[in-house]
């Protein structure tokens, strides 16, 4: 993979905005620097602006204001075919009347490459996606996973500066989707191309990305490596959208160097990491991942704890999900490995659930301006 270090970003979005009706912004002041060879995922719910950003980069949507630069050159007013960008779509977009060889040769032919270069490149990229023996077949004769590998090879064969992927695995079943995640990452690490990837699938984003930009209502709420997003969400939206999160409501009681004290609604006092809610007296929500909650005997007297009533458990194979409810009706979920440590509980058992302060964050929802 390419070295991600360096002073000058390979791709830059600078103060980019997009509106369709001149009243409401679909994308609100988007800024992002991408290093050469980096794999960046734009993640968010439907309508959050992630695909619009991809389309502006591709040149299929105009930029209302701001600038997009590739390798130091502004492409904001440049036609799509002049941007040297490869694209992979969910529906493959292969030519059904062309063989695989002809599909892969097409972007090289329109760039007027010599015939011997085209043939050598087609062989190289069919081999790269392990379809060399399928070159004379038509797309309709392939499985969904094979067609997506051809689409990926066609996007890469002309050595684009950037490869854009818009929900490329959305049409595949779970097992094939996971196989293609591995395939895309293998090619990315082998060839070192720069990727901007759009998805609404959190697991896919966490698995594949160097960094993830989380969108809500046209604003990037946080852009960080997967482990930072998961372990240290910037606000309550990110905590809710990335993975699963338990939420305890309270009020900030005091503020320390790295932590805050929170008075919960049941009157108990706990400690949590500082995040975006740090002012004494303000309401906050303490976010704790289900795997960070533990039965008290595991942590002893250290950390925070809350009493909860056992409701039910769900067997999920490698782990068990325990569902609890606090006295004020807050639902809590504990993920426990399916081993000898898994406790046997009866309905309405009262249990002390514990966690370490560094495994929770005091959060608030982000401010999201709506108007232009």
**Strand locations in 269-367 (E):** 269-273, 283-288, 294-295, 304-315, 319-325, 331-337, 350-355, 360-363
Whole-angstrom Cα distance, residue 114 to residue 205? 39
User: Residue 299: what pLDDT?
Assistant: 56
Q: What is the pLDDT along the chain (372 residues), one digit of tens a residue?
A: 334 445 689 999 999 999 999 888 999 999 999 999 999 999 999 888 999 999 999 999 999 999 999 999 999 999 998 899 999 887 768 899 999 999 999 999 999 999 999 999 999 999 988 899 999 999 999 988 888 889 889 999 998 999 999 988 887 788 888 888 888 898 899 889 999 999 988 999 999 999 999 998 889 999 999 999 999 999 999 999 998 999 999 999 999 999 999 999 888 899 999 988 889 999 999 999 999 998 875 555 668 999 999 999 998 888 899 999 999 899 999 998 887 777 888 888 998 899 999 999 999 987 654 444
CB-neighbour burial class of residue 353 (10 A; exposed 0-12, middle 13-18, buried 19+): buried
Whole-angstrom Cα distance, residue 193 to residue 120? 20
CA 293 centroid distance within chain: 24
Q: Which of 315, 304, 311, 339 is nearest to 326 (CA)?
A: 311
Q: Are 183 and 133 in contact (CB under 8 A)?
A: no
Q: Are 14 and 22 in contact (CB under 8 A)?
A: no
25-41 burial code (b ≥16 CB/10 A, e <16): bbbbbbebebbbbbbbb
Q: Are 252 and 277 in contact (CB under 8 A)?
A: yes
Residues 6 or more apart in contact with residue 122 via CB below 8 angstroms: 101, 104, 105, 108, 135, 157
DSSP assigned state of 356: -
Query: What is the set of domains in the chain, with CATH numbers?
Result: 11-231 (3.40.50.300), 244-363 (2.40.50.140)
CB-neighbour burial class of residue 309 (10 A; exposed 0-12, middle 13-18, buried 19+): middle
């Amino acid at each position: 993979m390419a070295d991600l270090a360096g002073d000058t970003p390979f791709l830059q979005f600078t103060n980019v905005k997009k509106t369709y009706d001149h009243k409401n912004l679909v994308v609100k002041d988007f800024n992002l620097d991408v290093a050469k060879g980096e794999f960046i995922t734009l993640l968010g719910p439907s309508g959050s602006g992630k695909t619009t950003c991809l389309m502006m980069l591709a040149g299929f949507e105009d930029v209302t204001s701001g600038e997009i630069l590739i390798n130091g050159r502004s492409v904001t007013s440049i036609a799509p075919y002049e941007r040297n960008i490869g694209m992979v779509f969910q529906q493959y977009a292969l030519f059904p009347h062309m063989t695989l060889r002809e599909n892969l040769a097409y972007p090289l032919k329109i760039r007027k490459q010599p015939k011997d270069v085209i043939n050598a490149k087609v062989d190289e990229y069919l081999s790269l996606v392990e379809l060399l023996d399928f070159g004379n077949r038509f797309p309709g004769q392939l499985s969904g996973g094979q067609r997506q590998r051809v689409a990926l090879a066609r996007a890469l064969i002309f050595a684009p500066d950037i490869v854009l992927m818009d929900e490329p695995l959305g049409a595949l079943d779970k097992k094939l989707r996971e196989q293609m995640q591995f395939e895309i990452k293998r090619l990315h690490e082998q060839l070192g191309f720069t990727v901007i990837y759009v998805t609404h699938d959190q697991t896919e984003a966490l698995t594949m990305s160097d960094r993830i930009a989380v969108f809500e209502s046209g604003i990037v709420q946080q852009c960080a490596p997967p482990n930072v997003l998961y372990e240290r969400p910037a606000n309550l939206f990110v905590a809710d959208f990335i993975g699963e999160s338990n939420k305890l409501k309270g009020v900030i009681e005091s503020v320390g160097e790295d932590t805050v004290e929170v008075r919960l609604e049941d009157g108990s006092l706990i400690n949590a990491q500082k995040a975006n809610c740090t002012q004494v007296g303000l309401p906050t929500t303490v976010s704790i991942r289900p795997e960070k909650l533990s039965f008290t005997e595991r942590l002893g007297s250290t950390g925070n704890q809350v009493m909860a009533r056992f409701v039910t458990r769900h067997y999920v194979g490698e782990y068990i999900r325990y569902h609890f409810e606090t006295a004020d009706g807050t639902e809590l979920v504990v993920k426990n490995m399916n081993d000898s440590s898994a406790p046997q509980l009866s309905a309405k058992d009262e249990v002390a659930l514990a966690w370490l302060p560094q495994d929770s964050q005091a959060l608030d929802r982000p401010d999201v301006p709506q108007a232009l």
